[in-house]
Amino acid sequence: MRLKNLAASLIVATTAASGFAGVASASGSSHTSVNYATCTDLKSCGGMSALVAAAKKEGQLNVIALPRNWANYGTLMDEFSKMYGIHITDTNPNGSSANEITAVEAPSTKQSPDAVDVGTSHATQNPGLWATYRVATWNMIPSNAKSPTGTWADDYGGIVAIGYNSAVVKTAPTSFKSLLNPMYKNQVAINGDPNQSGSGFAAVLAASLANKGTAGNITPGISYFAALKKAGNFVPVTAGPNTVQSGQTPIVVWWDYLQASEIGSVVKTWKIVIPKDAVYAGYYTQAIPKNAPDPAAARLWEEFLYSKQGQNGFLAGLTRPVELAAMIANKTVNTSLLKALPVIPKGAPKTVVASPAQQTTDASVLASKWASEVGTVK
C-alpha cells in the first residue's frame, strides 16, 4: 500500500540550479529554507504550519495499494483530503507490498509513491529506499515497532483469529486444538498458500505457537496443518468472502480485521474469535521513499496517520493501531471503537510478534517442508 507525502508551508524556492523539488522557505523563519525531501521531524520541517503550507503547495499525494475497505483507508484518505485540500491518487489499489517496492525502485516521476504501507519485512529488507522522518508522536510507538534510525514505523495491525459462519457451524471453535474435532470435517481453510501469502504464513505461525512452537520455529505449525489435513478438516483453497458464501469454507483462520471487513461485511452471521491457545499479531509499516515527488505531503500524511484522528481511524477499521497502548493510557482512544475489537480470551498466552529475522527463518522452513507435508493451497 502506498501513502503520500505530507505537506509543509511556504514559498517554493526550488530552482533549476538546486535540482531539488522539495526546497521551500519556511514561514516565520526569515533567511531560512527547508528541504522537505530531507527534513527529519516537524521542527526541522519548520513546524506544523509550515509543513501544511508546503503540502498544500504541492497539492497532491500519491499512494499505492490502499483498498478503501482495508483498515478504513477509504475514510482516512477522504478525511485527509478534506482537511488539507490535497488530492490523493491511489495507484493499483489491490497491489501488494512487492508491487510497492517495485514502484519505489523505478525511476522517479511525478506519479511515484510518496509513502508506502508495506509488510514490515519489505521495509527492513530495503533500508536504502527510505527517508528518515519521525512523526510528532514517535515516542508513543513501541521501540520494537519502529526503526532506531527513523526510516520506518509500524502503523496498525491485527491478530490471527478463527472466524466461522454461525449459521452453519453450530459449535463455536475456540482454539487451534478445537479445529481438530471431527465435527469440523471439510470446513477449515486459510487465506492463501503460506509460501506465497502473508496471511497464510501468519495462520501457520499462529498454529505453531499453539503447539509449543515459537516465533522463530514454525515447524510445529506445519505439523499441525498436516494433522488437520489427515483428519479431513483442512480445505486447501484460498478462503475469502466467495468461498464462505458458497459454503466451501465455513471456518477461516485469518487476520481479525480482514475477516471483519472482507467477510463480515457480506456474511452477517460471521463470528470472529481470538484462539485461546495462541495470540499472534502482525503489523504493517509506513515509510517515505527518498525519491518521493511530494515530500512535504508525504510527511503531513504520516503526521495525520499517527495522530489521534488517524490512529482512531485505523481502530474504526477494526485494526489495532500501533499507538493503542499509549492512547489507552492517555485516554485519547475512542472507547466505543475499542470495545468493538475481538476480545483476547482471559488466560490466553502473551501476544507474540515475529521479528523480520524470525520471519525469514520461518519462510525458509516453510519453503522446504510445507508442500511435502501438507500440499498446496489453491
Nearest CA to 363 out of 147, 125, 155 is that of 125
Reported as a pLDDT band with limits 50, 70 and 90, residue 8 is very low
Q: 48 is written with which cell numbers?
A: 506544523
Q: pLDDT above 70 covers what percent of the chain?
A: 92
Query: Does residue 105 surpass a pLDDT of 60?
Result: yes
Whether the CB-CB separation of 37 and 51 falls below 8 Å is answered with no
> Is residue 327 domain-resident?
no
Does the residue 332 lie in any domain?
Answer: no
Please check whether residues 17 and 84 belong to one and the same domain.
Answer: yes
C-alpha cell at 194: 503460506
Residue 24: what pLDDT?
55
Poorest-pLDDT segment among 30-44, 70-84, 301-315, 363-377: 30-44
- Domain holding 62, by residue range, is 2-133+288-306
- Per-residue pLDDT, averaged over 300-316, amounts to 98
pLDDT, average across residues 267-272? 97
- Sequence-distant (6+) residues with CB within 8 A of 94 are 65, 67
| CB atoms closer than 10 angstroms to residue 373 | 14
pLDDT at 22: 58
Same domain, 208 and 129: no
pLDDT of residue 95: 86
Do residues 208 and 82 share a domain? no
Q: Are residues 265 and 368 in the same domain?
A: yes
Q: How many C-alpha atoms does 104 have within 13 Å on its Cβ side?
A: 32
Q: What distances in angstroms separate CA 59 from CA 90, 151, 244, 246, one per listed residue?
A: 15, 24, 42, 45
Q: Mean pLDDT over residues 369-377, rounded?
A: 95
Note whether residue 329 is domain-resident: no
CA torsion 174-175-176-181 (nearest 10°) is -60
Are 166 and 89 members of one domain? no
Each as own residue / partner, the long-range contacts of residues 11-19 (CB below 8 Å, 24 or more positions apart, any chain) are: 12/54, 12/57
Cell representation of residue 74: 477509504
- Please name every residue paired with 89 in a beta bridge, in sequence order, or none if there are none: 62
Question: Tens digits of per-residue pLDDT, 131-158?
Answer: 999 999 999 999 989 999 999 999 999 9
Which has more pLDDT, 189 or 24? 189
- Judge whether 142 lies within some domain: no
Q: Which residue has the cell 485469518?
A: 254
Is residue 313 assigned to a domain? no
Asked if residue 146 belongs to a domain, the reply is: no
27 lies in the same domain as 88: yes
Residue 348, pLDDT > 50, answer: yes
Domain shared by 39 and 115, yes or no:
yes
Q: Would you say residue 334 lies in a domain?
A: no
Residues 180 and 265 in one domain: yes
Instruction: Kindly state whether residues 185 and 127 are assigned to the same domain.
Output: no
Non-local (6+) Cβ contacts of 361 within 8 A are: 216
Average pLDDT, the chain: 90
Residue 10 has a pLDDT of: 26
Going 101 to 284 to 242 to 186, the CA torsion angle's sign is positive
Q: What mean pLDDT is predicted for residues 253-274?
A: 94
Give burial (CB, 10 Å; 0-12/13-18/19+) of 339: exposed
What is the gyration radius of the CA atoms in the chain, in angstroms?
22
Q: Which pLDDT does position 32 carry in this prediction?
A: 62
Helix (H, G, I), strand (E, B) or coil at 46: coil
Instruction: Summarize pLDDT for 170-186 with one digit per residue, the tens.
Output: 999 999 999 999 999 99
Q: What is the CATH number of the domain that holds 230?
A: 3.40.190.10
CB count within 10 Å of CB 19 equals: 8
Residue 328 lies in a domain: no
Do 128 and 161 belong together in one domain?
A: no
Based on the fold, state whether residues 186 and 81 are members of the same structural domain.
no
| CB 357, CB 217: distance < 8 Å | no
| Cα four-point dihedral sign 255, 333, 138, 142 | negative
Domain match, 173 and 189 both: yes
The pLDDT of residue 31: 37
DSSP state of 107: P
| Number of domains within the chain | 2
